[in-house]
């Protein structure tokens, strides 16, 4: 009996000594669990961000509050806290993205508890999983998550996939530097192949910038010359990619940046509020099309809610004040990473990729960034250190508040999501009543609100769909939503309001055929043949952005109409 108790005591001692470090690796499971869920059930990550924050926050807080570690507040932590507080003050309570704040804060804390080689191994592990999914999609074994791209990994688009793989590739190169091995070479080869197959120019430029910096570092080049060479490589390959590969896409992004500059002029100091870019971009683009856009730019522009440059997006939402805070954080982290080459290169690749894409709007890339930044923040200058236990209780209060808020909102989103599914697939009217009653609890979730509005339109609940569509339009005013709103008004015989909705869709994107076609059909229903004839003439002169069978059918139908009414029009007016 004494021997058993002694062995049990030894086991508990081992768990107490090493188990805490093992628990810290629990959040890394998201990089394996989410791709598996997406593969089995399809692209559906609506609840992943809530679950990740709920799991990671207590684990990271536990690591920060362990007795044998002093609680240290660094300069980077203070700047990060000020930036979060500034972002919260800019945003109204209804639109505050609590889940984003929670899982970004949790990833920052989690990164502080890990060492650099561990973070690199986590990134390589996550990248290899994405490469395996990519290869299976490339071989038509698994379906892609986007209709126009053959490979996307577990993402919705190959662009974020390429950006994620470029960061993972730098982590693999850093691990190879610490020790050679055939397996590490295999990791580099696989990640490089995945990066090439992702077909993401922004990711390629980021990887080239990271490799250039790493090679020059190994050669002992001076720091200033390294930065100059990285900028030169980035600019050169950006111009080369814009001219020689997907030039139309590059011109489209330049047009988006011009619209962003116009947005920045309206509120240059404090911006328009966090997570408001998607709500304000399309109206600004419509004004730009009417006043300044060339014919080529008009044809390239489409529904869009990303700036394709995170620094422009931060400036539009938070003004020059927010941009200065972000730049201050990056400068402090860069200076703190002198003794950590691996994470410095990962941060560099991320920053370069951010100049051409939207990684701060992709869950995996957000976790990756804040995990790396959290680790680098622990290396910056210490402002305050607390070795004793009692004052740490003050740290527990915001953790509990954030955790409770995330659980509450996640619960409401989960129930609302299930109610949308029951209403759409099972005609459950109780679920619809629940959604109407509890709309305010999930109105902040843009994806869920769009799903609810679409379900109402598909079920032809037109009276109920109108207020929900208006809420959805307020968060992202896309042309397809205005067309659905017009269809609802048209089904209720509210023709004047339907005309306004269709005209707004046509105003936002003047070169699109379908809004004009909806106006054409509405005028025929209203028996306003003169207006219908004018819309038909405009449709006949238009060229679709993407040639498709549906666009050809619409134009063919309109041409037949024009041929049938042409004799009447010539004999009349």
Mean local confidence (pLDDT), 532-542: 87
Helices H / strands E in the chain, number of each? 26, 2
Give first-to-last CA distance, the chain, whole Å.
108
Tens-place pLDDT, residues 59-68: 777 776 665 5
Question: At residue 303, what are phi and psi to the nearest 5 degrees?
Answer: -60, 130
Tens-place pLDDT, residues 81-94: 899 888 888 877 66
Separation of alpha carbons 119 and 171, rounded Å: 8
Give the residue from 255, 387, 269, 261 showing the smallest Cα distance to 321: 269
Give the residue from 18, 140, 38 showing the smallest Cα distance to 363: 38
Tens-place pLDDT, residues 160-198: 999 999 999 999 988 876 665 677 788 889 999 999 999
Length of the chain: 573
Average pLDDT, the chain: 83
Contact 305, 259 (CB under 8 A): no
Tens-place pLDDT, residues 459-491: 989 999 999 999 999 999 999 999 999 999 999
**Which two tokens mark 247?**
């030039």
Mean local confidence (pLDDT), 498-522: 91
> What region does 254 belong to: left with phi over 0, alpha with psi -120 to 50, or beta?
alpha
Bridge partners of residue 74, in order along the sequence: 382
Contact 162, 361 (CB under 8 A): no
Contact 303, 282 (CB under 8 A): yes
Separation of alpha carbons 276 and 297, rounded Å: 24
Bridge partners of residue 73, in order along the sequence: 384
pTM: 0.88
Give the residue from 157, 151, 154 showing the smallest Cα distance to 194: 151
**Which two tokens mark 500?**
């306004």
Mean local confidence (pLDDT), 491-495: 91
Tens-place pLDDT, residues 288-315: 998 888 888 888 888 999 999 999 999 9
Tens-place pLDDT, residues 264-283: 998 899 888 888 899 999 99
Give the residue from 229, 312, 302, 224 showing the smallest Cα distance to 265: 312
Separation of alpha carbons 484 and 445, rounded Å: 20
């Amino acid at each position: 009996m004494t021997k058993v108790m002694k062995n049990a005591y030894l086991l508990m001692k081992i768990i107490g000594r090493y188990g805490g470090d093992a628990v810290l690796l629990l959040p890394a499971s998201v990089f394996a669990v989410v791709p598996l869920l997406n593969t089995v059930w399809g692209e559906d990550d609506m609840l992943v961000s809530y679950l990740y924050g709920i799991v990671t926050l207590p684990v990271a807080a536990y690591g920060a509050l362990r007795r044998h570690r002093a609680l240290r507040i660094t300069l980077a932590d203070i700047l990060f806290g000020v930036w979060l507080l500034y972002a919260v003050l800019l945003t109204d309570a209804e639109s505050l993205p609590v889940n984003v704040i929670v899982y970004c804060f949790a990833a920052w804390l989690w990164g502080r508890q890990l060492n650099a080689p561990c973070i690199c191994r986590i990134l390589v592990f996550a990248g290899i999983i994405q490469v395996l999914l990519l290869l299976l999609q490339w071989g038509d074994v698994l379906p892609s998550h986007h209709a126009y791209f053959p490979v996307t990994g577990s993402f919705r688009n190959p662009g974020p996939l390429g950006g994620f793989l470029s960061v993972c590739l730098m982590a693999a190169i850093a691990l190879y530097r610490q020790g050679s091995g055939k397996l590490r070479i295999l990791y580099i080869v696989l990640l490089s192949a995945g990066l090439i197959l992702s077909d993401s120019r922004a990711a390629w430029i980021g990887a080239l910038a990271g490799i250039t910096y790493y090679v020059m570092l190994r050669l002992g080049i001076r720091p200033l010359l390294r930065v100059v060479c990285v900028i030169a490589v980035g600019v050169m390959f950006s111009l080369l990619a814009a001219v020689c590969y997907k030039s139309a896409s590059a011109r489209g992004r330049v047009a988006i940046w011009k619209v962003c500059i116009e947005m920045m002029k309206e509120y240059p100091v404090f911006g328009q509020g966090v997570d408001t870019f998607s709500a304000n971009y399309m109206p600004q683009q419509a004004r730009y099309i009417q006043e300044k856009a060339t014919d080529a730019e008009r044809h390239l522009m489409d529904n869009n809610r990303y700036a394709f440059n995170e620094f422009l997006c931060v400036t539009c939402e938070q003004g020059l004040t927010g941009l200065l805070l972000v730049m201050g954080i990056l400068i402090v982290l860069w200076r703190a990473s002198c003794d950590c080459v691996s994470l410095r290169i990962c941060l560099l690749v991320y920053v370069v990729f951010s100049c051409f894409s939207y990684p701060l709007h992709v869950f995996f890339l957000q976790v990756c960034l804040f995990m790396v930044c959290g680790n680098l923040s622990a290396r910056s200058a210490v402002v305050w250190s607390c070795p004793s236990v009692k004052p740490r209780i003050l740290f527990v209060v915001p953790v509990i508040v954030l955790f409770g808020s995330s659980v509450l909102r996640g619960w409401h989103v989960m129930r609302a999501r299930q109610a949308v599914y029951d209403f759409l697939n099972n005609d459950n009217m109780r679920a619809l009543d629940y959604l109407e009653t509890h709309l305010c609890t999930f109105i902040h979730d843009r994806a869920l609100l769009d799903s609810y509005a679409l379900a109402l339109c598909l079920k032809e609940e037109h009276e109920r769909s109108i207020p929900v569509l208006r809420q959805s339009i307020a968060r992202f005013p896309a042309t397809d939503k205005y067309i659905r709103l017009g269809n609802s008004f048209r089904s209720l015989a509210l023709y004047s309001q339907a005309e306004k909705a269709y005209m707004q869709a046509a105003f936002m994107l003047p070169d699109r055929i379908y809004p004009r076609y909806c106006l054409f059909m509405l005028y025929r229903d209203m028996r306003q043949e003169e207006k219908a004839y004018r819309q038909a003439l405009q449709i006949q002169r238009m060229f679709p952005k993407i040639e498709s069978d549906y666009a050809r059918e619409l134009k063919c139908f309109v041409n037949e109409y024009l041929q049938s009414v042409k004799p009447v029009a010539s004999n009349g007016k």
